[in-house]
Amino acid sequence: MTPEEFASKGERTRQAILDAAYDLFLNQGYSATSVRQVAQRAGIALGGIYNHFASKDEIFQALVIEKHPYLQILPLLQSAPGETAEEFVRNAARLVQEEMGQRPGFIKLMFIEIVEFEGRHFPKVLEAIFPLAFPLVQRFIASGTGVRQDIPTPRLIRAFMGNIMAYYLTDFLVNDASVPSGISDMRLEDFMEIFMHGILECRNQNAEQ
């Protein structure tokens, strides 16, 4: 076996472990899933797991990073059309909604991260996300297309990503026939409109004088 074939086999085994763990975590939860079950689902010996991951926690951390949609979404957004920040955000919302529609299990993974780990792995996710998000925000700050200049870039990135995540977390919770349509049928684009324009009416200063 050549070094290339050996590396390829190792990559396939690692991916099989991640795929098996992903299915088990989503279907029965993190705590109820054992490393032995992951090995059985992946079709490898128990010891084979530890050639790739030191622990179940390390498997989960790799999944949170690998499955996080922003790693795929942010490169897509680099080419999103929009002459102004407002046009871009609307187009970005549509792209994000299409991409997230292909990842129905990700929100469940996030609930596990929030409830069982209290967000412990998220700093690693940020390490991967911020280098991709930074030039995206800078694109509009530098061009003067409507983005406030007094908000630091890291805060803009957090607000932008946080708004999207808030939409999907709440969408997961209101996805029930008993929830009023005015709440359950809200789109990501509606969320982004509020993000851009806020909830307070703009008053005409001249009218007040």
SS3 of the chain: helix, strand, coil, percent, to 5: 70, 0, 30
Question: Which one has a higher pLDDT value, 108 or 40?
Answer: 40
- The answer for residues whose C-beta is within 8 angstroms of residue 89's C-beta and 6 or more apart is 82, 192, 195, 196
For 33-82, how does the pLDDT look when each residue is reduced to its tens digit (9 = 90+)? Answer: 999 999 999 999 999 999 999 999 999 999 988 887 777 777 777 777 77
Long-range CB contacts for residues 19-25, cutoff 8 Å, separation at least 24: 21/56, 21/59, 21/60, 21/63, 22/63, 22/67, 22/105, 22/109, 25/60, 25/63, 25/109, 25/112
Domain 3-61 has CATH 1.10.357.10: no
Residue 98, token pair as written in the block: 């299409």
For 117-162, how does the pLDDT look when each residue is reduced to its tens digit (9 = 90+)? Answer: 888 888 888 888 888 787 777 766 665 556 677 888 788 778 888 8
For 167-200, how does the pLDDT look when each residue is reduced to its tens digit (9 = 90+)? Answer: 888 888 887 778 888 888 888 888 888 888 888 8
Domain ranges of the chain: 3-61, 68-208
How far is 58 from 49, CA to CA, in rounded Å?
A: 11
